[in-house]
Structure 1
Amino acid sequence: MTETSFGVRRANTILYCRAWRATVAFYRERLGLATSFENEWFVEFVLTDGAALSVADAGRATIVAVEGQGITLALLVDDLPALHERLHAAGVAVTPMRQRWGAWVFYCRDPEGHRIEFWTEAPAKGAQ
């Protein structure tokens, strides 16, 4: 794993959510993310060996939730068309795949309103 000049070895983005239970269910059941830690108000999901996404109950947090505004979670994935199809089949409202910035992308939102961007560097077969 590559380290930054100031020693970061792992990153964890924490989303503080009012719709905590629905948001946890979305990441666990709809997106299929595995958990590495959870308690009654906080769940940490595994993204990669060096990155995690956590969902915290805003009612128990020490900071104010942003209610899904001003945040995009951008995730580079291996097989964009397959993921798009799987999420659509799971009932996730996904946008059509499109080419932007020299990459293929599609978007969805979690129950709290956070925008999630899935993208790939390689041209996606079957993308429109």
Structure 2
Amino acid sequence: MNTTTVPPHSMSAIPTVRVVDETFRFEYPPLCSVPDCGRLALYKAGATWSDGSQRELKHYGLACRLHRDDLMARAAASRRALRVSEGEYVGPVVLRRLVAGLRDAELPIAEEDDPLDLNPAPPKTTRDLDQAEREGDSKT
């Protein structure tokens, strides 16, 4: 992993900051945000947020196919209750399909007729996840 050490304003009393190479990414299976669900998440609910100088996706949660409608209802209620400061903008809540390797801003918007996920039971161990991934690769 490439890292760069940046001395903060030449002040020796402040520890140095390590900046991680931008290509480094954590890779883990995202799980549904619903407590005790445990299924792999297929969707992310989010709304575009901006303060005028920066822009990002405000995260409202992750969901499997079974819980996506509930997630969207909770996210929409949270969005309606959100108070924005002057100069801030928060767009409507949008459901995005999770795609490995893509950043939030690159995630495609999910279609209403997305197929049901074929992940009926939560994985029990990392070995189960690895096995499911191998089986998925062999089907393509």
Q: TM-score, normalised by structure 1?
A: 0.22
When Rg is computed on C-alpha atoms for both structures, the one with the higher figure is: 2
* Greater RCO (CA < 8 Å, at least 6 residues apart): 1
Report which of the two has the higher share of strand: 1
